[in-house]
Structures are given as structure tokens and as C-alpha cells.
Amino acid sequence: MTTESHALTTTESSPVAGLSHDTSGGISNVVLGMLLFLTSEVMFFAGLFAAYFAVRAKTELWPPLNPQTGEQFHLEILPLVGPATAILILSSLTCQLAVWAIRRGDRVAFVRNIAVTFLIGIIFLVMQAIDYLELGAEGLSLASGTFGTTYFTLTGFHGAHVFGGVVMLGVVLYRGMAGQFSARHHDAVEATSLYWHFVDVVWILLFSLLYLLPGKG
């Protein structure tokens, strides 16, 4: 056994990991499918953003008054939303570190970074759920007129996408721990990272729109 064949045997222990990542030199079907899916998701969220701006433009006072307090609804950045945003942005970095790690065949670093990304996704969802409970206690709900409807629709659909991303990360983590990915075979990792980056970008836009954009009236 030559040195080269021995190295391949030890690093490509899984039959799946030994498959070629891209034999044709072009984009893989998995990644292409994800890109097409994300294109449709861009249009979906663009429609939601357009609906939000349309509702906001027709309202003289935005955010509107809270019937319970007689004051405008106010979305607090601290103590939950700001830190949740920061860790979600951080998760894009850890996800990309995982991609770079598997591209160079470093499975240990890959699994470590995917695990961190997976945990951050769960933490974000928990923080969002707690924030929903606090907003509900303050009188903001889906029944709170157009403001409540648009807020929970936008953040709720995003939360559903985060949940889907966490599931995908969990599957990738499981397969990575089983040794099913290598420098030559990691299409699912690339596709999942694209989806996760998309989720992060959408949240940055939502955060800017809902929490940073000044009100009117």
C-alpha cells in the first residue's frame, strides 16, 4: 500500500465521504436546488416587506397606540432582541468556518463549528419565544390591529425558517459525526450554509425595519 492510498483509506473511512464532491466541474444539483429555492424565498419575503410598507404608509401613527396603556407600542431591543441578533450574526461566521473546515478536510473543526451554529439557532428560537411572551403580556398580539399582525407575521415566518435551518443543521451535524462528509463530498453542507446565511440576512433586514427604522406620526 502506497502512502497516498493509505492516506485516502484513513481520511475517507465512510463510503459516502469517498464520493466526489463535483465530478463535472460545475455546480452540484444539491446546491443548485438550494439556490433556486432561496430565489423563491427572496420573492416571498419581498412580498411580506412590501405588505408591511404598504400598511405603514396608510397609517398616520406608527407604531399605533396600545389600548391598554394609551401610548404607542414600543419594541425593546434589550434585553432579548439585541443579543439574539448578535448571536445569530455570529452563527453565520461559525457556519462559514464549518464550510471552510470541511473543504480542507478538517472534520474535527467542521463538527465543532456546526455544533456551535446548531446550538446558537436553538438559543435564538428560545429567546424569540420569550420575547413573544413578554410582548403578549404588554398587550401586543396578532389581534392588536395591523401592527401586531404585521409584526408577528414577519417575525413568525422568519422564526419558522430558523427552525427549518436548525433541523437542517442537526441533520448535517449528525451526518458529520458519522463521518459522511469530506473535502470531496459535502454538498449538503454547502447547501445548508447558503440557507443559514439567507436566514441571517433576512433577520438583519427585519431587525432594521422593525427596531431601527423611526416611527411616524
**What is the SS3 assignment for 28-94?**
CHHHHHHHHHHHHHHHHHHHHHHHHHHHHHCCCCECCECCCCCCECCCCCCCCHHHHHHHHHHHHHH
pTM higher than 0.75: yes
Q: Which strand (E) or helix (H) includes residue 154?
A: helix 145-177
Q: Distances from the Cα of 48 to the Cαs of 25, 69, 89, 198, 213, in angstroms?
A: 37, 29, 22, 16, 16
The stretches in the chain having pLDDT less than 70 are 1-25
The answer to whether the beta carbons of residues 120 and 91 sit under 8 Å apart is yes
Q: Residue 5: its pLDDT value, please?
A: 40
Q: Residue 6: its pLDDT value, please?
A: 38
Q: Residue 19: its pLDDT value, please?
A: 41
Q: Residue 7: its pLDDT value, please?
A: 36
Q: Residue 25: its pLDDT value, please?
A: 55
Superfamily for the 53-212 domain: Cytochrome c oxidase, subunit III, four-helix bundle (1.20.120.80)
What is the C-alpha radius of gyration for the chain, rounded to an integer number of angstroms?
21
- 100: three-class secondary structure by DSSP: helix
Q: Residue 24: its pLDDT value, please?
A: 52
Q: Residue 210: its pLDDT value, please?
A: 96
